[in-house]
Structure 1
C-alpha cells in the first residue's frame, strides 16, 4: 500500500488526508443522525401522555429539552405557549433553525471533499503526463521504465481521487436527504403540538 501511495506522487498526501476526513465525517454523521437520537419516539409518546394527563411541569420540560434535538424544539415552544400561538411558533422556529444547523454540521466539508478530490486526481494526471513528455524530450521513447513511472503516477492519482470522491458524494447526498426527512418530521410534530396546546386538535390515548 505504501509503495502504491509513493508511486502516486506528492498529490497522494492531500488525497489520503481527504479520505481520512471523509471517513471521519461519514461515521460521525451516521451516529449523530440516527432517528433514535434526533427524534426518539419514546420521548414524544411520553410528552403526549404528559399533555393528555396535564402532568407537564418545569422539571419535565427540562427533561424533554435535554432528551433530544426534537425535544429542544418542542420544549422551546411549550415554554412560550402562554404568550400565544404566534410567540410559541416563533420560539419553535428559532430553536429549530439552530437544531437544523447542528444536523447539517460537517456536511459542507464532506461535499467539498467530494468536489476537490477528483480535481486533485486530475492535477496528478496532468503532472504525471508532464513528466512523461519531459522524459520523452530528454531521452526519447526508448526508456520505457521512466515513461511507465509517469503514466503510473497519472493513473494512480486519478483512480485515488475518484475512489475518495464517489463514496463521499454518495454519503453527502444521503445525509442531505436524511436531514430533510428529520426536519419534516420535526415540523409535523411542532405543528401538532401548537394545535394541541391551543385547543385546535385532540390527541389520542397513545399520543400519536
Structure 2
C-alpha cells in the first residue's frame, strides 16, 4: 500500500512538472501577443491597411492573430454583431490558454492528501511491527517515524511549486487577456469610426 502511495506521488509530480513546462512555453508573451502583430495593429490606421494586417496575422499564428482575423472577417457587419462574435471567440481563446491549469489545481489539493495517506499507512505498518517486536529499540522507532514522514514532505514539495505555478499562470493569462482585448478593441473602434466618418462625408 505504501509503495502505491509513493508511486501516485511520483506520478503526480511528473504530471505537474509536465504541465508547468508546457504552459510555460505556451504562455510566452511572443507566442500569444507577437510584437509583429501588435505593431501591425498600431499601423492599421485606414481600411486600406487591413490587408496588410491580415497578412501579418496569417504569418504569425497566435491567439491575438486569430481574434484579429475574425474581427477583419466581420467588418462588413454592424458593430454590435462584430463585437459579439469577437467576444465569443475571445472566451474560447482564454479557455485554450487556461488548458491544463486544472491539473495543477488538482495537484495542489491531492499531493498533500496523498502524502498524509502515505504517512498514516506507514505509521500503521510501523506500530503493527512494534506490536510484535516490542518497544525495546527506540532508535528503530525514531528511524521508522522519520521515514514515514517523508511521504508528507514529498506531498508538500509537489503541492507548493504547483500552487506557485498555478497562481503565476492565472495572473499571466489575465494580463495577456487584457492586452488582447485592448488591441482588438482599439482595432475595431478605429475601423468603425473610419467607416462612420466616410459614410457621413459621402
TM (norm. structure 2) is: 0.86
Task: Tell me the residue number matched to 2:167.
Answer: 173
Task: Tell me the residue number matched to 2:6.
Answer: 12
More helix by share: 2
CA offsets 1:104-157 (integer angstroms, 9 cap, x no match): 010001111111000000011111111222123222212446635642342110
Residues 1:184 and 2:184 aligned together: no
Residues 1:156 and 2:150 aligned together: yes
> Which sections of structure 2, spanning at least 5 residues, go unmatched?
195-202
Pairs aligned (count): 193
> Which sections of structure 1, spanning at least 5 residues, go unmatched?
1-7, 201-208
Aligned counterpart for 2:189 among listed residues 187, 195, 200: 195
Alignment of 1:86-101 (within 5 A): 86-101=80-95
SS of corresponding position for 1:83: coil
Counterpart Cα distance in 1 of 2:50 and 2:179: 22
In the alignment, is the contact (CA less than 8 A) between 1:11 and 1:120 conserved in 2? yes
Task: Tell me the residue number matched to 1:109.
Answer: 103
Task: Tell me the residue number matched to 2:22.
Answer: 28
In the alignment, is the contact (CA less than 8 A) between 1:43 and 1:67 conserved in 2? no
RMSD of aligned alpha carbons: 2.2
